[in-house]
Amino acid sequence: MNRLPILLTLAILTACASPRPAPPAEVQPTVEPLPPEIKPLTQEQEEEIGQ
């Protein structure tokens, strides 16, 4: 009997079931405040964009 298909299936299922580690903190992007000349959208502008 050829065991290759069984081993491949087991390897794929094991890889899919294993939890992935969280990325390190230094890789995550930092949120910088907006410059004063850029104003956030008002509620009305957000509703217009959403339509």
pLDDT, residue 47, reads 86
Mapping DSSP to helix (H, G, I), strand (E, B) and coil, where does residue 48 land?
helix
| pLDDT single digits (tens) 1-14 | 688 888 888 888 77
DSSP category for residue 41: P
pLDDT at 37: 87
Buried b (16+ CB within 10 A) or exposed e, 14-41: eeeeeeeeeeeeeeeeeeeeeeeeeeee
CB 34 within 8 A of CB 40: yes
Domain that holds residue 29: 3-50
How many domains does the chain divide into? Answer: 1
* pLDDT, tens digit, 9 for 90 and up, residues 14-41: 777 767 777 676 666 677 888 888 888 8
DSSP letter assigned to residue 7: H
Q: What is the pLDDT of residue 18?
A: 65
pLDDT reported for residue 43: 86
Q: How far apart are CA 43 and CA 49, in angstroms?
A: 10
